[in-house]
Amino acid sequence: MPDPAAHKTPAPQVSSDNPCPFLRALVAGDYVGGHIVPLPELTRTIDRATGKTGLPALIAGAQIFMVAQMANGIGPFSLLRSLTKGAILDELRNGPLDKHGAGSRILDQHAVVHEDEIARLATFGRDYKSPDGSVERGLSASDIKTFMTANFQRAKDEHSWTYAILRCYYPLLMLGEWPVLLDIMGKGDGKDRYLSVAEVRTLFVERRFPDRIVALLNR
């Protein structure tokens, strides 16, 4: 009997020029293509992962669409190209959303994951009791805010040229990264909601989502 797996189209290759861990996992899981993805398709896919419905889903979708449209450039021609063609996921590095060393530095410019930076991330969190009763390290919304501020301060202390460029809009960039991961992948509710460091590591290293997110993406 023929093996169905033998006829399955392989998942797209994840480009090193795609620096977003969430998008890298979407490509690796074959939820979206690795090159040009129409904005409506990308928006719907990420929106499913949030698990939101009704008005919250509409608001989240609008925010996702706007961020995706500017990901490859904020000039008029770039915005028009993104609107009509889609986001180019393998050309995101050095774009408007790239923080050039003022971010977590978990994933470098060659798409190499740095375990020491994941360990650093964990130092900003505390231990939480997960829904299954186990204890794991995680970061709350306030922990994440402290972490992102420290990242920016690190770039400033190193006299990074990015500090001068990013100081005006870096706070806006921050809102589209770790807080979004907390919103989508977090466990718990309200002030007790936290982002699991172990799941962050799986996202970066294995380019894989937790099973509960996979279930939402496969709806």
pLDDT tens sequence across 21-34: 999 999 999 999 99
Rounded average pLDDT over 90-101: 82
Nearest to 164 by CA among 155, 174, 154, 172: 155
> Residue 205 above 70 pLDDT?
yes
Residue 26 is predicted with a pLDDT of 96
Q: For 117-159, how does the pLDDT look when each residue is reduced to its tens digit (9 = 90+)?
A: 999 999 999 999 998 889 999 999 999 999 988 988 887 777 6
The pLDDT confidence band at residue 2, using thresholds 50, 70 and 90, is very low
pLDDT at 170: 65
| Closest CA relative to residue 93, chosen from 69, 66, 111 | 111
- Of 59-63, 142-146, 200-204, the poorest mean pLDDT is in 59-63
The DSSP secondary structure of the chain, one letter per residue, reads ---GGGGSPPPPPPPTT---HHHHHHHHTTSS-SSEE-HHHHHHHHHHHHT--HHHHHHHHHHHHHHHHHTT--SHHHHHHHHHT-EEGGG-TTSTT--TTSS--SB-TT--B-HHHHHHHHHT-EEEE-TTS-EEEEE-HHHHHHHHHHHHHHHHHTT-HHHHHHTTTHHHHHHTSHHHHHHHH-BSSGGG-BEEHHHHHHHHHT----HHHHHHHT-
**190: Cβ contacts below 8 Å, ≥ 6 apart:** none
For the cut 60, the answer to whether the pLDDT of residue 216 exceeds it is yes
Q: Which pLDDT score is estimated for 169?
A: 60
197-219 average pLDDT score? 96
Q: What is the pLDDT of residues 179-196, one digit of tens each?
A: 889 999 999 988 899 999
User: Between the CA of residue 110 and those of 24, 93, 103, 140, 143, what are the distances in Å?
Assistant: 13, 10, 15, 29, 28
Sequence ranges of the domains in the chain: 10-98, 115-208
Structure tokens that stand for 74 in this block: 């904020």
Q: DSSP class of residue 37?
A: E
Question: What is the pTM for the complete model shown?
Answer: 0.87
pLDDT for residue 83 is more than 70? yes
Please count the residues of the chain.
219
